[in-house]
C-alpha cells in the first residue's frame, strides 16, 4: 500500500468532484439551452474524471493493478470490477439511485470517451442518454468510500503510534 499516492489521487478526485458541482446547475438546465449546451458535456467529463480518480485511488490503496493507457484506463466498469470486496461494499452501501451500479456502469462504462468529443458523434452515437442521478450518486458513493478509507488509515496509524 502506498498511502501517499492514494491520498494524491483521492485529493485530485475530490477536486474534480467539487469542480463539477460548481457547474452542475448550468449543465442540467435544458430550459436555458445555451448553458445546457455549454456545460452539460464539461460536467459529464469532469464528473467522469472524478469517478475515475476515486476508483484508481482505491485501487492504488489496495495495490491492485489497472490499465493506465488507452481508453481502458477510462473504463469505469472495469475499474469498479477490480475493487476489492471491502471497498466495493462501501460504494454499494453509499449508492442511492436506480438503476443498480452494475447496470449503470455497464451501460456507461466509457462515459469519458463517449462524451469528450460530442461534435464528432453522429446518428446513433448522439442518442445516448445519460441519466444524471445514478452518475451523481455513483460519484458521491465513491467520495464517501474514499473518506472511509482515509478514516480507517488514520485510525490505524494513531493506534500504531500509541503502541
The CATH number covering residue 94 comes to: 1.20.120
* Pairwise CA distance, residues 83 & 65, whole Å: 10
Given the C-alpha cell 496509524, which residue does it identify?
A: 157
Give the length of the chain: 163
121 — pLDDT class (breaks 50, 70, 90): low
Structurally, the chain folds into a number of domains equal to 1
- Domain that includes residue 18, residue range: 3-162
Give, in degrees to the nearest 5, the angle at Cα 83 between 81 and 85.
105
* Pairwise CA distance, residues 51 & 157, whole Å: 27
Given the C-alpha cell 471491502, which residue does it identify?
A: 86
* Pairwise CA distance, residues 158 & 151, whole Å: 11
- What number of CA atoms fall less than 13 Å from residue 32's CA on the CB side? 10
**What are the cell numbers at 58?**
482505491
pLDDT digits (tens, 9 = 90+) for 55-97: 999 999 999 999 886 667 889 999 999 999 999 999 999 999 8
pLDDT digits (tens, 9 = 90+) for 12-50: 999 999 999 998 888 877 788 888 778 888 898 999 999
Please, where are the H alpha helices in the chain?
3-27, 33-61, 76-82, 85-94, 101-107, 111-115, 132-162
pLDDT at 61: 96
* Pairwise CA distance, residues 137 & 8, whole Å: 22
Amino acid at each position: 500500500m502506498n498511502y501517499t499516492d492514494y491520498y494524491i489521487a483521492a485529493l485530485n478526485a475530490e477536486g474534480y468532484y467539487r469542480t463539477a458541482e460548481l457547474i452542475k446547475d448550468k449543465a442540467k438546465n435544458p430550459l436555458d439551452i445555451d448553458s445546457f449546451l455549454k456545460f452539460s458535456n464539461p460536467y459529464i467529463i469532469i464528473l467522469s474524471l472524478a469517478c475515475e480518480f476515486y476508483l484508481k485511488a482505491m485501487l492504488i490503496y489496495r495495490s491492485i493493478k489497472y490499465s493506465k493507457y488507452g481508453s481502458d484506463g477510462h473504463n469505469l466498469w472495469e475499474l469498479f470490477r477490480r475493487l476489492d470486496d471491502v471497498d466495493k461494499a462501501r460504494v454499494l452501501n453509499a449508492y442511492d439511485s436506480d438503476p443498480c451500479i452494475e447496470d449503470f456502469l455497464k451501460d456507461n462504462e466509457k462515459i469519458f470517451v463517449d462524451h469528450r468529443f460530442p461534435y464528432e458523434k453522429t446518428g446513433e452515437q448522439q442518442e445516448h442518454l445519460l441519466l444524471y442521478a445514478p452518475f451523481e450518486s455513483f460519484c458521491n458513493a465513491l467520495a464517501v468510500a474514499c473518506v472511509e478509507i482515509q478514516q480507517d488509515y488514520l485510525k490505524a496509524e494513531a493506534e500504531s503510534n500509541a503502541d
